[in-house]
Amino acid sequence: MVLIRFIVCLICAVSLLFLSIPFISSPFITKSFAQEAHQAEETPSKKPFEKLKGLWAAIAIFAGCFGTGWAQSRVGTAGSGALAEKPEVGGIIIVLMAIPETMIILAFVIAIMILTM
């Protein structure tokens, strides 16, 4: 059961990675290709890895999604066992399931920081 839940979380993280790539490289956040080509003709790029920002941001989001899914699969498994033995710990289990969600929020913040550097 834990393996199935982990695989589902992994599939969700990978699909979120592929769905987030168009938004990460959108013209609202980065310069358009025409502006980049025009600047490349004028001056050589001082930062050789400038074009890889979208990839690094996607990797940050993927790592956050993967870590969140892994942590929630562990907490959920232990929480369901604890809830079966002591039903009064339900509120604590909900809080413990919400704590790993902060990892994905921080991953989005890190992705935005990477894109705006």
- Give one DSSP letter per residue of 32-84, joined into a string: -HHHHHHHHHHS--S-TTGGGHHHHHHHHHHHHHHHHHHHHHHHHHHHHHHHH
Q: Give the pLDDT band of residue 12 (cuts 50, 70, 90).
A: low
Cβ atoms of 3 and 52 within 8 Å: the answer is no
Q: What is the pTM of this model?
A: 0.55
Decide: 90 and 96 in contact? Cβ < 8 Å: no
Structure tokens at 32: 């358009």
pLDDT tens, position by position, 22-78: 555 554 445 555 555 555 555 555 566 677 888 888 888 888 888 898 999 899 899
Specify the pLDDT at position 1: 58
Residues in the chain: 117
pLDDT in tens, 66-98: 889 899 989 989 999 999 999 999 899 989 888
Instruction: Please tell me the predicted confidence (pLDDT) of residue 32.
Output: 54
